[in-house]
Amino acid sequence: MKTASAPSVSRRVGSGTDRASSSRLAAPRAPSFLSPRTARRGLSLLLALLWLIFAIGPIYYMLIVSFEPQSSYLNSNPWFPTAGVTAANYSAVFAGGFGQYLLNSVITTVGTTILAVTVSLLAAHVIVRRTRGISAVIFRVFLVGLAVPIQALIIPLYVEVLRLGLYNTLLALIIPLSAFAIPLTVLILVNFLRDVPRELIDAAQIDGAGPIRQLTSLIIPVAKPAITTVAIYDALTAWNNFLFPLIFTQSSNVAVLPLAIFNFSGEHLIDIPAIMAAVFLSAAPLFVLYVGARRQIIGGLTAGFSR
């Protein structure tokens, strides 16, 4: 009996040992704070923070320096000024005619954007509705316009502006800027309008809607993200353009902000705070435009991927 009971005891002891070892193996592991997913998220946040610092840094520098007195700029740390705050720099900028330059830039930008987007939308609508014949040729002509550099046409444009009597006027800026903005705008709108279901256009035709009614009631609402995106891009291009105002205008009453800031910096060569004030005022409308239309910009850029 004693010999027979020994194996049973050993089996019980062995089974208890196996259960203990299996329970240790099955015990849940402590969460790891260095998992690959956590590391990727931490790296993404770090890169985003670095990009934010590099993007906000110049804006912060312009704003801080623009309120610093010119006498203490060279003797203090511009990133952390201690000499006080003054609005004299902004007063000097407005005394130099900034209001007139701002108005000229607004007129030029709005006129260029409306003209370029209107012509491009009409052309894109015709190109999409009629894929053969003259419309295909027109689309290829627009694509050729993308390959023509602006600098190569400055002299012919200057001669034409003189012959038309537009020199030293805002029309001398609006018309060329619109012409150079149309090719890219047409390309973007054509690619977007091609994704509009053909059934919608056919249904509108069956209901008796003509081309203009189709454009206003169907195409424009559907293509609103793309129209907003190209309008903002054309507006930024016209707002920052320096070459055309330098060549096609002469007097100060038709000067726009890029050219006015260039002249202002030449007059106030050593007055860095005043120059920063002028630059910040010229860039402030762009900041406001981006903050107010960032959703439309992102929606227009990602609209093609969501279809």
Main-chain dihedrals φ then ψ at residue 133, nearest 5 degrees: 80, -140
Q: What pLDDT is attached to residue 11? A: 47
End-to-end CA distance of the chain: 82
What is residue 252's DSSP assignment?
G
- What domains can you pick out in the chain, each with its CATH number? 100-255+293-302 (1.10.3720.10)
Distance, in Å, from the CA atom of 28 to the CA atom of 12, rounded to the nearest integer, reads 26
Other beta carbons within 10 angstroms of residue 176's beta carbon come to 24
Q: What pLDDT is attached to residue 33? A: 53
- Contact in structure between 69 and 86 (CB atoms under 8 Å): yes
- Contact in structure between 122 and 190 (CB atoms under 8 Å): no
Q: What pLDDT is attached to residue 9? A: 44
How many whole angstroms from its chain centre is CA 255? 25
Tokens of 173: 């800026």
Tokens of 168: 């030293």
DSSP-assigned states of every residue in 11-79: HHHHHHHHHHHHHHHHSPPPPPTT-HHHHHHHHHHHHHHHHHHHHHHHHHHHHHHHTS-HHHHTTS-TT
One digit per residue, pLDDT tens: the chain, 307 residues?
Answer: 444 444 444 444 455 555 544 444 444 554 555 677 788 888 888 898 898 888 888 888 888 888 888 777 777 777 776 667 778 888 888 888 888 999 999 999 999 999 999 999 988 888 887 766 777 788 888 888 888 888 888 999 999 999 999 999 999 999 999 999 999 999 888 888 887 777 777 777 777 777 777 777 778 888 888 888 899 889 989 999 999 999 999 888 899 999 988 888 887 777 888 888 888 888 888 888 777 776 766 665 555 444 4
